[in-house]
Every structure is written in C-alpha cells, then in structure tokens.
C-alpha cells in the first residue's frame, strides 16, 4: 500500500514544482518545433504541442501547460484549455496521422475552462470531437498523466492505446472540490471526496482505467526531475516498441476495444433481439 493517502496524493499531484509538459518535452525530446493556433480563431497557450524527435524518431507531442510563474500561469490560464486548445490538439493529431507520426500526450489539468467565451465557442463540442478523433487514429497514441487529470478536459488528450500515470498523479471525473460540491453541496468536504473517488494511479490501475503506473522518486516527482524523466523515457520507449507491432487499423481497433470494455461488466447483458 502507498504511504500517502489519496488526499495527500492530490496535494503532491498539484505541487507546482513537479515537471510539466514543457519540462518533459525539453528533457525527453529533441528538435521540438512548436505548432500554435487552431486555424479558426486563436492560439490557446494552455495546450502546448508540436513535432519533435523521440530517440531520433519524429513524433507529435501535445500536453496541458500550466506555467511556472504567475505571468506564465495567466498566459496558460492555469492549464485550463478552451475549445481553441482542443481544436489545436485535433489539428496536430490529424497531422500526425497524415504523416504517420506516433502521438505522445502529457495530461495535467484541473479541467477544461468553465468560462463564458469557452461556452460560446463550443467547449463541449471541442472536447467531444477530440474524443471521437482520438478513438479512430491509426497511429500509436500514448498518454501520460503527470499531475492532475481533471475531468473531460483531461480525457480529451487521453484516449490512447496506453494510458500511463505517474505514481502520485490523480485522474478523476471532477476535482475533489467539485465532486464534494455537487454531491454534498459542500466543497470543503473534498478530503472525504478523495477517499471515495478512487482517483489514485494505483486504484485506476486496478480498475483497468490505466495500463501502467510509473514510479516517482521519494516524496514525489518534484524532488528529482532527472529520475522522473528517466522513468518516463524508459516507459515511453517500451510502450512505443510494443505498439509498433500493430499496424494502422489495428491500433484504432485496440484503442476502441480498450475503452469499449470500460464499465461493460454489467449484469445482466440483455440478449433479446427484436
């Protein structure tokens, strides 16, 4: 058993000293070429993406970006994307598919931004299209939840052939605060929410939601970035090598079947045919 409670893990997962998407890109990839804009209306800094080499091989890399100081936080909207961010991600993924590049995503967001303009421009539609697109991609997709995997805003980058999580990362239907506020009308009961939500990497691995848990250095990834990078690098290499054995449509099918099976064990499966 882990020595940290789910509530403590939420704190570690949110530690601003943890490596973020930009740090992982710096450390694990070479030749990063950032691609900006959704080609419709604007650039959304809360999603960082582009082309890079992973051990020499061109890949598309996309992730949530929170920023490291207040100025960056504001520019990245604290890692809460609007529809433009999700549409940029779609653009990059379609391009990756066209050029046969694997896609690697880093997931770290409190959630999609609940703002007026975001709604006006179709936040729900943008996320839905991300999910639909990712489910059908014919290139390998690997997602790594590195910090907070908050709600649909996280899932929109995580419909992958393999979903990995750092040991102290969390991934949930909503933030524990939001969860407590909806169910108990009291966001201060978030600690209690953490306990019942099954949001830790270990719980999610058991539930078949993620396929691998990546060991963090003592106390959390913020204590030793280099060790974290080595672990993530090794895991990505291994998973990519495994997925390379599958060809285009088989990748889409494997991904489809994996998500298809989530929550299927329901009694009794009605068999009647009209």
Partner 1 sequence: MNGLFRQRRDRLLTYQAMREGKLTPSRRIACPACGAESTALDWNRNYQVCPKCGHHNPVEAYYRLSMILDPGSFQELEEKLSPADPLEFPGYPQKLKALEEDTGLRDAAVAAVGMVEDHKAVFVVLDSRFLMGSMGTAVGEKVTRAAEYAEKRKLPLVIFAASGGARMQEGIFSLMQMAKTAAAIRHFQDRGGLYISCLTHPTTGGVTASFASLGDIMLAEPGALIGFAGPRVIEQTIGEKLPEGFQRSEYLLDHGFLDQIVPRDQWRSVLGRLLALHEKGGRA
Judged by the rule CB under 8 A, the positions of this chain that interact with partner 1 are 112-116, 118-125, 127-129, 131-136, 151-152, 155-156, 159, 171-174, 178-179, 182-183, 196-199, 204, 207, 209, 255-256, 259-260, 262-270, 272, 274
Nearer to partner 1, 46 or 231 (CB): 46
Output the smallest distance, CB 123 to partner 1, in A.
4
Q: Shortest Cβ distance from residue 201 to partner 1 (Å)? A: 11
Q: Where are the alpha helices (DSSP H) in the chain?
A: 6-13, 21-28, 70-75, 83-98, 116-120, 123-136, 151-155, 176-184, 190-197, 201-206, 225-243, 248-260
- Closer by beta carbon to partner 1, 223 or else 254: 254
Closest approach, Cβ 34 to partner 1, in A, equals 26
Closest CA to 35 of 51, 24, 13, 22: 51
Token match 């209306």: residue?
41
- Give the CA distances from residue 36 to residues 25, 30, 46, 87, 112, in Å, rounded to whole numbers and listed in that order: 15, 18, 11, 11, 18
Smaller CB separation from partner 1, 52 or 96: 96
Instruction: Give 77 or 231: the residue with its C-beta nearer to partner 1.
Output: 77
Closest CA to 188 of 40, 2, 7: 7
| Nearest to partner 1 of 69, 264 (CB atom) | 264
Cβ-count burial 105-143 (b if 16+ within 10 Å, e if not)? bbbbbbbbbeeeebeebbbeebbebbbebbeebbbbbbb
- Residue 237 CB, shortest distance to partner 1, in Å, is 25
Minimum distance from CB of 169 to partner 1 (Å)? 13
Choice between 125 and 244, CB closer to partner 1: 125
Enclosing H/E stretch for 166: strand 162-166
Q: To the nearest whole angstrom, how small is the minimum distance from the Cβ of residue 184 to partner 1?
A: 10
């Amino acid at each position: 058993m882990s020595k940290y409670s789910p509530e403590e893990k939420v704190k570690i997962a949110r530690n601003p000293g943890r490596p973020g998407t930009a740090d992982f890109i710096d450390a694990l990839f070479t030749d990063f070429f950032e691609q900006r804009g959704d080609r419709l209306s604007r650039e959304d800094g809360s999603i960082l993406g582009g082309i890079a080499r992973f051990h020499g091989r061109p890949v598309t890399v996309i992730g949530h970006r929170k920023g490291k100081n207040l100025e960056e936080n504001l520019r990245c909207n604290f890692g809460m994307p609007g529809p433009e961010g999700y549409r940029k991600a779609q653009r990059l993924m379609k391009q990756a598919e066209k050029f046969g590049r694997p896609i690697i995503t880093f997931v770290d967001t409190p959630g999609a931004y609940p703002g007026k303009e975001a709604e006006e421009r179709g936040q729900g539609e943008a996320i839905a299209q991300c999910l639909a697109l990712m489910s059908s991609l014919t290139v390998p997709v690997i997602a790594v939840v590195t910090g907070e995997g908050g709600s649909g805003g996280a899932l929109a980058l995580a419909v992958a052939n393999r979903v990995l999580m750092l040991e102290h990362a969390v991934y949930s239907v909503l933030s524990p605060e939001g969860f407590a506020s909806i169910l108990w009308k009291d966001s201060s009961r978030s600690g209690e929410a953490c306990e019942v939500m099954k949001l830790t990497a270990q719980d999610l691995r058991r539930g078949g939601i993620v396929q691998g848990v990546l060991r963090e250095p003592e106390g959390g990834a913020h204590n030793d970035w280099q060790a974290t990078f080595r672990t993530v690098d090794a895991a990505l290499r291994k998973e990519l090598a495994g997925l390379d054995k599958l060809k285009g449509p088989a990748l889409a099918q494997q991904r489809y079947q994996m998500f298809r099976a989530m929550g299927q064990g329901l009694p009794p499966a009605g068999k009647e045919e009209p």
